[in-house]
Amino acid sequence: MAIKIRMRGKSKGGVAEVKALIKHPMESGVRMNKKTGKPYPAKYIDMVQVSVNGTPAVDAQWSGAVSANPYMAVKVNANAGDEVSVTLSDNTGDKGTSSIKLK
């Protein structure tokens, strides 16, 4: 299953603010199912990469401590017309990527 990402970005003075809304359950593996008494399986984003024109600008490692459907905002060096992409993967192997051209 692909991870869904909605993005926006705007450049001003060579610095772009990129905002991403990520649809993902971010289950830590600690929370228990009340009916069965067993924990929900862990499923969380563990790798985030932001690239500008194919060059990595931000690399981050996340864990199960991040909330469900996380919102992310980062600032990168980029100009209007540059392509910014966000690539994610989770601990189960699911991946997602999204790209935008900056305004």
Residues 22-44 as b/e (b if ≥16 CB within 10 A, e otherwise) read bebebbeeeeeeeeeeeeeebbb
- Domain at 24, CATH number: 2.60.40.10
Q: Express each pLDDT in 60-98 by its tens digit.
A: 999 999 999 999 999 999 999 999 999 999 999 999 999
How many distinct structural domains can be found in the chain?
1
Q: Which two tokens stand for residue 92?
A: 């189960």
State the residue range of the domain holding 74. 4-31+38-101
Q: Express each pLDDT in 6-38 by its tens digit.
A: 999 999 999 999 999 999 999 999 999 999 999
Tell me the CA end-to-end span of the chain in Å, nearest whole number: 30
For 58, what's the count of Cα atoms within 13 Å in the CB-facing half-sphere?
Answer: 20
Say what the pLDDT of residue 1 is.
73
Say what the pLDDT of residue 12 is.
96
Q: With 90 as the cut, is the pLDDT of residue 55 above it? A: yes
- Sign of the alpha-carbon torsion through 100, 70, 1, 51: positive
User: Are 45 and 22 spatial neighbours (Cβ–Cβ below 8 Å)?
Assistant: yes
